[in-house]
Amino acid sequence: MAEAIDALVIGAGPAGLMAAETLARAGRSVVVVEGKPSAGRKFLMAGKSGLNLTKDEPLERFASAYGGAAEWLRPMLAGMGPEAVRGWAEALGEPVFTGSSGRVFPVSMKASPLLRAWLRRVEAELRLGWRWVGWDGAAWLFETREGLRSLTPEVVVLALGGASWARLGSDGEWAGLLAGRGVELAPFRPANMGFRVDWSAHMTRHFGAPVKGVALKKFNDIWIKGEFVVSARGVEGGGIYAVSADVRDGAPLVVDLLPDLSVEEVAARLAARPGKRTLAQHLEKALKLDPVKRALLQEFGRPLPEGVELARLIKGLRISHAGPRPMDEAISTAGGVTRAAVDEGLMLRALPGVFVAGEMLDWEAPTGGYLITGCLATGLWAGRHAAGWRT
């Protein structure tokens, strides 16, 4: 027999926990189920690189980072934007600081203290190792260590994540279940990912080398300063992630190796080459190009031109690649439940009383605090609207 409960949240990541806390504060009795043996696994993984919670910038600029979803998400971000996220972390006993880039981190630079404090505060029953596998009539079915279990909730919030990092719980398998109930979905695509490159043998010695002080080109001819890493798998890192959505969607991967100099300045330095100096020596001496930058020039610019054409190549080196790395390696994913599939409160039109939050929704954003803030904001929004739902 199915167990009758009030409010059910499926998924114990940031979006699910925010929805659960919001439901509980509104007086609902909440059960949170999580397919993995522990909560917040992807959140904890993010903490290994310092846990970038949000970015300290005005709401309009912050919202613009969500691209085509900015208009849709703006009201949600207004309720849980950068200032609110800072306050949320500090209320959990984790002071934060803002780095030189505007990114906001907990002083501890860890996710585990924040998650532990949050779990203590969320007034909900947490059931771990419960994996949602579908329905039996009105009952929601779960595979557990004790066998198949079923729940009949009054209201549900789904926060099952996207389709990357399956080992942490975000495998996207929920998509088939929702599609079978008539929910409109956009295909999953990798976001914030690296690109495969079929390197020649001479690049092997540079695997693991950072490429610093460069700029990368977006679709709209905006150049973003950053850095990336050359690896056996291709190119990856913050600079690549910043342009990855545009490159995934068809833009060339173009790098300016000397963003602080104009083409004319580069050309002038190249022209002042002493007769006995080789080109490789001159690139190092006159332009301060380190070994990995010179190797990239050789890899993608052979045979190297001369004069102004070489200057233009240095200022706009096109990196040939073989497409994105596999989706499961991506930091996040685009695709999922479409805007048209939910109402203004993030309730599924095809499943009344079922709300959706986090990366299950079809939005994407760059790294830099936008991803976690987006999950918290949609979790709060879905939780608030779910709290008022009565059958």
CATH code of residue 42: 3.50.50.60
Per-position pLDDT tens, the chain of length 391: 899 999 999 999 999 999 999 999 999 999 999 999 999 999 999 888 889 999 999 999 999 999 999 999 999 999 999 999 999 999 999 999 999 999 999 999 999 999 999 999 999 999 999 999 999 999 999 999 999 999 999 999 999 999 999 999 999 999 999 999 999 999 999 999 999 999 999 999 999 999 999 999 998 889 999 999 999 999 999 999 999 999 999 999 999 999 999 999 999 999 998 888 898 999 999 999 999 999 999 999 999 998 999 999 999 999 999 999 999 999 999 999 999 999 999 999 999 999 999 999 999 999 999 999 999 999 999 999 999 998 7
Angle of helix 291-301 relative to helix 307-315, nearest 10 degrees?
Answer: 110
Domain match, 186 and 231 both: no
Domain match, 123 and 252 both: no
Place of tokens 């970038």: 52
Position 88 scores a pLDDT of: 98
Q: How far apart are CA 293 and CA 4, in angstroms?
A: 62
Token pair for residue 290? Answer: 């380190």
Domain match, 17 and 158 both: yes
Position 236 scores a pLDDT of: 97
**Among residues 294, 318, 342, which one ends one of the domains?**
318
In-domain check, residue 254: yes
Domains contained in the chain, number: 2
Q: How far apart are CA 7 and CA 216, in angstroms?
A: 46
Using CB atoms within 10 A of its CB, is residue 130 exposed (0-12), middle (13-18) or buried (19+)? buried
User: Which residues lie below 8 Å from residue 201, measured CB to CB, with a gap of 6+?
Assistant: none
Are residues 106 and 51 in contact, defined by beta-carbon separation less than 8 angstroms? yes
User: Which residues lie below 8 Å from residue 263, measured CB to CB, with a gap of 6+?
Assistant: 308, 311, 312, 315
Domain match, 186 and 247 both: no
Token pair for residue 20? Answer: 């659960």
Token pair for residue 138? Answer: 């009105």
